[in-house]
Amino acid sequence: MRDPVGRFLAALDPEHREAVGAAPRAEQERLAAAWERELASDPELDTLDELSPPAAEAEAARRVMDAHSA
């Protein structure tokens, strides 16, 4: 299994992937942990995950980055 940071980076859009990839490892790990919590806690994402795991991961990544930039 890939590490959470790698999975999170893969789920990000290219612009955010570059920015997060340039961040310190601790920040990457913090964002990846928030992403995993988002995936685990939202029932809508759970349903989407059954239909399209990449779409669910991308949506959770978008939400984490929106919250991070707010």
pLDDT in tens, 21-68: 999 999 999 999 999 999 999 888 888 778 889 999 999 999 999 998
pLDDT recorded at residue 69: 84
Instruction: List Cα–Cα distances, 52 to 23, 24, 57, in angstroms.
Output: 28, 30, 9
User: pTM (2 decimals)?
Assistant: 0.88
> Does residue 70 register a pLDDT over 80?
no
Other CB atoms closer than 10 Å to residue 44's CB: what's the count?
9
pLDDT recorded at residue 37: 95
Q: Per-residue pLDDT averaged across 5-23, rounded?
A: 95
Question: pLDDT class for 17, splitting at 50, 70, 90?
Answer: very high
Answer left, alpha or beta for residue 48, where phi above 0 means left and psi between -120 and 50 means alpha. alpha
